[in-house]
Amino acid sequence: MSFSKWMGTTAVLALLVLGAACSKTEAGFARDVNPILQKYCIECHSVGGNGYVASGFSVESYDDVMRGTKFGPVIVPGSSVSSTLARLIEHKADPSINMPQGKPRLPKEKLHIIRAWIEEGAKNN
């Protein structure tokens, strides 16, 4: 292979790799996470709901989610492993507090979305 052909091939590969890296879409709160919370969590975790009464945790807004519970934050931006919310919805906590209680677990793809959002900094995007 000639040097110029090798350079052309290398440039094309570099652009493909760069394009793939740039095309990664961040999980957004409004677009991706909030619809999950509204479908699976709002019934109990809004003002007056059983989950809200017990913990003070509301999923009514981004600010509410980031505020956490009366016991403290449930999101550690950048670390789903350290985030109580992730542990609870992934059923990695005591069975008496895993979420959602009394209902089927969240589908794995929904868990992945929430985990990715937390890992990406839990931004209000």
The predicted pLDDT at position 1 comes to 58
What is the sign of the dihedral through the CA atoms of 114, 118, 123 and 124?
Answer: positive
The predicted pLDDT at position 100 comes to 95
Please list the rounded mean pLDDT of every run of 10 residues in the chain (125 residues): 49 41 74 98 97 97 98 98 97 95 95 98 96
The predicted pLDDT at position 5 comes to 54
Hey, what are 120's tokens? 């990406």
Hey, what are 99's tokens? 């979420």
Model confidence pLDDT, tens digit, residues 77-102: 999 999 999 999 999 999 999 999 98
